[in-house]
Structure 1
Amino acid sequence: MTLLALKEDRPTPRAVYNWRVYGCAAVASFASCMIGYDSAFIGTTLALPSFASEFSFASYDPDALALLQSNIVSIYQAGAFFGSLFAYVTSHFLGRRTSLAVFACVFLVGAGVMLAASAERGLGPILAGRVLAGVGVGGASNMVPIYISELAPPAVRGRLVGIYELGWQIGGLVGFWINYGVNTTMLPTRSQWLIPFAVQLIPGGLLFLGVFWIKESPRWLFANGRRAEAMKVMCWIRNLEPHDQYILEEVEQIDRDIERFEREVGKGLWKPFLALRQRKVQWRFFLGGMLFLLQNASGINSINYYSPTVFRSIGIVGINTGFLTTGLFGVVKTALTVLWLLWLVDRVGRRRMLFIGAFGGSLCMWFIGAYIKIANPSSKDQDGTNSSRRMDGGGIAAVFFFYLWTAFYTPSWNGTPWVVNSEMFDQNTRSLGQASASANNWFWNFIISRFTPQMFLKMGYGVYFFFAALMLLSIIFVYHFLPETKSIPLEAMDRLFEIKPVRKANQVLMDDLAQGGGAGAAEDVSSCAGEKTRSDHLEGTARV
C-alpha cells in the first residue's frame, strides 16, 4: 500500500468500478457545467463594450456602477441560496433524479427570461432571470453531490464527486473564453452580449435530457420502500448479480442504516430536524458551513465574478488582454481539476490537499498584495485604455504568482469542500446536511459577490492581504477539527467523527474495518438481539 494507491474498506470486485457509475456521475454533472458557466461568464459580459453601451454604464458614477454590477451578479447567489433549501423538500418527495429535472427546468426558464433584456426594457429581465437561474443551480448544487456520493463505491467516491467539480470548471472555462471570442470577432452590437447569455441554455438542456437516462439513487429507493427497484438499480450500477457477496453486504449496510434512521429519527419531512438537537450532528453542520466560508475566504469567487477588476488591479490593461488572461486562468483551473479528480483526491486525501492549497495559496496572495502596495500598477493607467504599456518585472512576477495561486487552490479548496460535505453526513441527516452545505456555499458566494467591487474600491491591495490571512487560518481549522474522510463507507461516518485525535481518525477506522469491524458492527451487538441472523438477512435480501 503506497500513498497514491486506492484504499478499499473491503475486498471490491473490479466490476464495481465500471462505466455506468462514471456515466451517471458525468450526466448529473451537466448541472455543474451550467453553474460554472453562469459563475464565469457574467463578469466579463458586464465588461463588454456592447453591454456597457446598451445599458448606459457611462452615465453612472463609480460607486453607483459598482453597486449595479454587484447586484446583477449577487442576485443569482441569492436565488441559489433558496434553491438549495427548496431541494431538500423536492428530494424528500420526488427523489434525487426527478429533483434534478425540476431544477433544470427552472434554470432553463430563467436563462430564457434573460434574453428579453434590452435598452428599452432595461435590466429587469436579466435580474429576474438570474434569480430563477439561481434557484435552478442552487437546487442542482444540493442534489448532484449527494446523488453521486450515494452511487459511488467508497474507494472512488472522491473521484466521482470530483466529476461534479470538473463540470464546474469546464463550464467556467467556456464562460471565461466566450467573451474573448465575441469581443474579438463581432461588432459591439446587442448580439455580441446576447450570445453569452444564450449559451446558458446548452448545459441546462443537456442536464434535462440526461436525467431521462440516469437512475435514481438506490439508497433513496431503499429508504422509501421501493426495494425491488432499488435492488435492480444497485445491480445495474455495480455491474454485479443480486447474489454477489459485495451486493449483499452493501444492501445489508444500507438496511442497517435505514433501520437506525427510522428508530432514532423516524420518517417524514420534518423528522430529520429532530436530529439537530444532537451535538454531534450540530458539529458536522458547523464543519460543512465553515468549509464553504473558508473556501470563499480564499478569494476565488472574487476572481470568478470580477476577473477584469482583479486583473486590472495587478496591472493588466486593455479589454482583450484582460479577457485573454481570464481565459488562461480558466484553462489552468480546468487542467488542474482533472489532475485532482483522477489522481489526488482519492489517493492523497482531503486533509493533505487542503493544507497544501491553503499554505501555498496564502504565500501567493501575500506577494500579490505586496506588489500592488509597492508598485501601485493601476495608477499608471487610470482610464484602463492604454493596452500598449508593457508590464515591468514585478508585474510579470505578480501574474506568475496569481497563476501559481490557482495551481495551489484548484486541486485543494476548489472541489474538496463539496466532496467532504457529500459524504460526511449519515443517513439520518444526509439530505438536510447537503441542503445546509449548499445554502452555506451560496450564502458566502452572495456575500463575496455583493461586496467585492466595494472592497477593491476601498481596500485596494488590502483585499489580497485579507484573503491571505484567512487562508492561513483555514490550516489551523482543518488540522484540529476535520478528519480525513477518504475511503470511509458512508455508513461508517458516525464512527469516524467520534475518534480522537482527529488527525488519526481515518487510519484507526480503516484498520478496524480491515479487521472485520464493519460499519455499525458495534451497534449490532446491542440492538439486533432477537432479530434475524446475518445469514437469514442475506438470504432474504437475495430473494428480493
Structure 2
Amino acid sequence: MALPRHRGAMNIGFQCGVGLGVLSANIINFGTEKIKGGWGWRISLTLAALPASILTIGAILLPETPNSLIQNSSNPDKAKTVLQRIRGTTDVQAELDDLIKASSISKTINRPFRKIIQRKYRPQLVMAIAIPFFQQVTGINVITFYAPILFRTIGQGESASLMSAVVTGLVGTTATFISALVVDKLGRKTLFMIGGIQMFVTQITIGVIMAILLVDHGGLSKGYAYLVLALICVYVAGFAWSWGPLGWLVPSEIFPLEIRSAGQSITVAMGFLFTFIIAQSFLAMLCRFKSGIFFFFGGWVMVMTVFVYFLLPETKNVPIEQMEKVWKDHWFWKIIVGEIDDEKKAYTQQGA
C-alpha cells in the first residue's frame, strides 16, 4: 500500500509495535514482581489479553489492499478507487497497470512452493532462509527473552535485573523509531552495516570484560555490571535499527507476486524454527560457554555483515513490481538469473 519512498518507514511500524509490546511487558513484569504474596505473575499473564483483543478488532477493520482486490476480483475499478484514496490523487493509472500486469502473471502460478525453487527465484529463496537465520544468531533473543537471567548471572538482584530489561526495551524501541525515520533515506544496506559493526564490537567487548573479570575476580562488581548493561544497550540499539526491523522489511520487498505467498511463508517459518532452536539451546550454551557466548554470537554477526555487504542488493525506492531488476543488476546474482534470460533469448531466436 505504501509508496516506494515511504515503504520502509511504513513497514518498520510493525517492528515499532513489537518493541512497544516488549517494553510494556517488561514494565509490567517489573511492577508485578513487587506484589507481595507471589501472585503478581497472574496479572502479568492476564494483561496479555488486552493487546490480543486490539489485534482482533484491528483485523476486522483492516481494509483490503489494491493488490488483493485485483487478484480476487475481475473488476479493477474498486482497486483503482482504493489506490486513488491511498495515493491522494486520481493519476494512478500507470501504477494500476503495473499491478494488474503483475497480478496476471501471478495467477498463472498454481504451485508457488514448487515455483520458488526454480533457478530464476534462487536469490529470493536464499534470502528467505538466510535472513531469518541471521536475525536469530545475532543473539538478540538471548537479551530479549532471557535478560533477567543474564543480568542476575552477572551479579544483579532480581528486581534490578527486571529493571535492566526495561532499560534495554526502552533503548530498543527508541532505536526502532529512529530506523523508521532514516531507512528510506540511508537505505537498507547502510543500516545493516552500521548495526552489524555496532553489534559485533559491543559483543566482543562484553565477552572480553566478562571473561577477564569472571576468571580473575570470580564475578562482576556493581560498576562493571552497569558497564556491561550500557554496552548491552548499545548492542540492542544496533539491532533495533538494523536486523530487527530490516529482517522483516527486506523479505517483504523482494518477492514478486507469483511467489510472494510461498516466500513470506518460508521466511516466517524459518524465523519461528530458528527462534525455537536458540530458545531451547541458550541455557545449555550459557552454562557451557559462559562469557564465550558473546564471542559465539559476535562471530555470527561478523559473518552476516559480510553476507549482506556482498550478496544483498539495495532495495530502497524500488517498486515491488520492478524488484526483479535488482537481482539482474547485482554482481553475483546476475550470473544466475542472467543466464536464464540468455537461455530465453536463445530459445526465442531459434523459434523465430
Counterpart CA distance in 1 for 2:237 and 2:95 is: 38
The residue correspondences of 1:401-420 to structure 2 (distance < 5 A) are 401-420=231-250
Aligned with 2:29 (options 179, 185, 198): 179
Deviations 1:430-468 (A, max 9, x none): 111111111111111111111111111111111100011
Q: Quick check: 2:155–2:221 contact (8 Å CA) kept in 1?
A: no
The residue correspondences of 1:494-505 to structure 2 (distance < 5 A) are 494-501=324-331
Percent of residue pairs identical: 26
SS in 1 for 2:33: helix
SS in 1 for 2:175: helix
Counterpart CA distance in 1 for 2:315 and 2:37 is: 50
Match of 1:365 in 2: 203
By how many angstroms is 1:482 displaced?
Answer: 0.4
By how many angstroms is 1:502 displaced?
Answer: 6.3
Counterpart CA distance in 2 for 1:222 and 1:494 is: 21
The alignment status of 1:214 with 2:54, answered yes or no, reads: no
The residue correspondences of 1:139-288 to structure 2 (distance < 5 A) are 151-184=1-34, 186-190=35-39, 192-227=40-75, 228-240=77-89, 244-245=90-91, 247-262=92-107, 265-266=108-109, 268=110, 271-288=111-128
Q: Which amino acid aligns with 1:446?
A: F
Match of 1:347 in 2: 185
Match of 1:113 in 2: none
Counterpart CA distance in 2 for 1:477 and 1:277 is: 21
Q: Quick check: 1:484–1:503 contact (8 Å CA) kept in 2?
A: no
Residues 376, 410 of structure 1: CA spacing in aligned structure 2 closer, same or farther, 3 A cutoff?
same
The more displaced of 462-471 and 251-260 is 251-260
Counterpart CA distance in 2 for 1:482 and 1:360 is: 19
Deviations 1:342-365 (A, max 9, x none): 2x2111111111111111111111
Match of 2:149 in 1: 309
Counterpart CA distance in 1 for 2:319 and 2:217 is: 55
SS in 1 for 2:242: helix
The alignment status of 1:425 with 2:267, answered yes or no, reads: no
Match of 1:376 in 2: 214
The residue correspondences of 1:279-298 to structure 2 (distance < 5 A) are 279-298=119-138
Q: Which amino acid aligns with 1:462?
A: G
Q: Which amino acid aligns with 2:156?
A: V
Q: Which amino acid aligns with 1:152?
A: A
By how many angstroms is 1:303 displaced?
Answer: 1.3
Counterpart CA distance in 2 for 1:322 and 1:272 is: 46
By how many angstroms is 1:283 displaced?
Answer: 2.5
By how many angstroms is 1:339 displaced?
Answer: 0.9
The more displaced of 351-360 and 164-173 is 351-360
SS in 2 for 1:486: coil
Counterpart CA distance in 2 for 1:503 and 1:351 is: 16
SS in 2 for 1:175: helix
Q: Which has the higher contact order (CA 8 A, sep 6+)?
A: 2
Residues 378, 281 of structure 1: CA spacing in aligned structure 2 closer, same or farther, 3 A cutoff?
farther
By how many angstroms is 1:390 displaced?
Answer: 5.3
Counterpart CA distance in 2 for 1:287 and 1:475 is: 14
Match of 1:391 in 2: 222
Residues 502, 283 of structure 1: CA spacing in aligned structure 2 closer, same or farther, 3 A cutoff?
closer
Match of 1:28 in 2: none
Counterpart CA distance in 1 for 2:231 and 2:95 is: 47
Q: Quick check: 2:152–2:158 contact (8 Å CA) kept in 1?
A: no
Counterpart CA distance in 1 for 2:268 and 2:117 is: 21
Deviations 1:367-401 (A, max 9, x none): 111111111189857xxxxxxx9514x43332221
Q: Quick check: 2:164–2:229 contact (8 Å CA) kept in 1?
A: no
Runs of 4+ in 1 over 6 A off after TM superposition: none
By how many angstroms is 1:333 displaced?
Answer: 0.5
By how many angstroms is 1:226 displaced?
Answer: 4.5
Q: Quick check: 2:204–2:295 contact (8 Å CA) kept in 1?
A: yes
Residues 206, 273 of structure 1: CA spacing in aligned structure 2 closer, same or farther, 3 A cutoff?
same
Counterpart CA distance in 1 for 2:155 and 2:48 is: 28
Q: Quick check: 1:312–1:378 contact (8 Å CA) kept in 2?
A: no
Residues 340, 277 of structure 1: CA spacing in aligned structure 2 closer, same or farther, 3 A cutoff?
closer
Residues 338, 277 of structure 1: CA spacing in aligned structure 2 closer, same or farther, 3 A cutoff?
closer
Counterpart CA distance in 2 for 1:350 and 1:362 is: 18
Q: Quick check: 2:135–2:243 contact (8 Å CA) kept in 1?
A: yes
Q: Quick check: 1:356–1:412 contact (8 Å CA) kept in 2?
A: yes
Match of 2:341 in 1: none
Q: Which amino acid aligns with 2:51?
A: P
Counterpart CA distance in 2 for 1:411 and 1:168 is: 13
Deviations 1:450-499 (A, max 9, x none): 11111111111111000111111112101111001111000011111111
Q: Which amino acid aligns with 1:167?
A: G
Q: Under a length normalisation based on structure 1, what TM-score does the superposition of the two structures give? A: 0.59
* CA RMSD after TM alignment: 2.3
Q: Which amino acid aligns with 1:292?
A: P
By how many angstroms is 1:317 displaced?
Answer: 1.6
Unaligned runs of 5+ in 1: 1-150, 382-388, 505-522, 528-544
By how many angstroms is 1:238 displaced?
Answer: 2.2
Q: Quick check: 1:371–1:395 contact (8 Å CA) kept in 2?
A: no
Residues 323, 486 of structure 1: CA spacing in aligned structure 2 closer, same or farther, 3 A cutoff?
same
Match of 2:169 in 1: 330
Aligned with 1:439 (options 252, 261, 269): 269
SS in 1 for 2:60: coil
Q: Which amino acid aligns with 2:79?
A: A
Counterpart CA distance in 2 for 1:163 and 1:485 is: 18
Q: Which amino acid aligns with 2:326?
A: L
Q: Which amino acid aligns with 1:258?
A: S
Q: Under a length normalisation based on structure 2, what TM-score does the superposition of the two structures give? A: 0.89
Counterpart CA distance in 1 for 2:87 and 2:307 is: 37
Counterpart CA distance in 2 for 1:461 and 1:353 is: 27
